[in-house]
Amino acid sequence: QVQLVESGGGLVQAGGSLRLSCVVSGRTFNTYAMGWFRQAPGKEREFVAGISKTGGITRYADSVKGRFTISRDNAKNTLYVQMNSLKPEDTAVYYCAARPSQSEIVATTYDYWGQGTQVTVSS
């Protein structure tokens, strides 16, 4: 059983920045492909960004490309997303997710999920 705990959410004005973190339990973090998802009220959960187990490959949703940066620190069992130039449409609960990965790939499906952290962007 793997536990993921997000933090760093909050209320910011449009154009501002936030940095979210996700701390993952266990000793196998460096074997997990990781991702960020978000879910706005009344909408389906959507992919935001993904990163391979060593950080060598990243992938972004078109809606956040150029504004968000996903990264990881395998020595700290921590996943990050730096969110700049935030827009009201970025308002959502943000979730981190993990999938054991044998290969250096960005996962398309995930096995473990955090409880989420709220991001609210005011206009």
Query: Which has more confidence, 107 or 23?
Result: 23
Place of tokens 């339990």: 25
pLDDT in the model for residue 1: 79
pLDDT in the model for residue 41: 92
Tokens of 87: 């827009």
Give the three-state DSSP class for 117. strand
pLDDT in the model for residue 119: 98
Average pLDDT, the chain: 97
Does 111 have pLDDT greater than 90?
A: yes
Q: Do 117 and 19 form a contact (C-beta atoms < 8 A)?
A: no
Does 108 have pLDDT greater than 90?
A: no
Mean pLDDT of 68-96: 98
- Closest-CA residue to 5 (of 17, 28, 22, 29): 22
Q: pLDDT tens across 24-67, in order?
A: 999 899 999 999 999 999 999 999 999 999 999 999 999 999 99
Does 95 have pLDDT greater than 90?
A: yes
Mean pLDDT of 103-116: 95
Cα distances (angstroms) measured from residue 18 to each of 11, 25, 86, 114, 122: 9, 23, 8, 18, 13
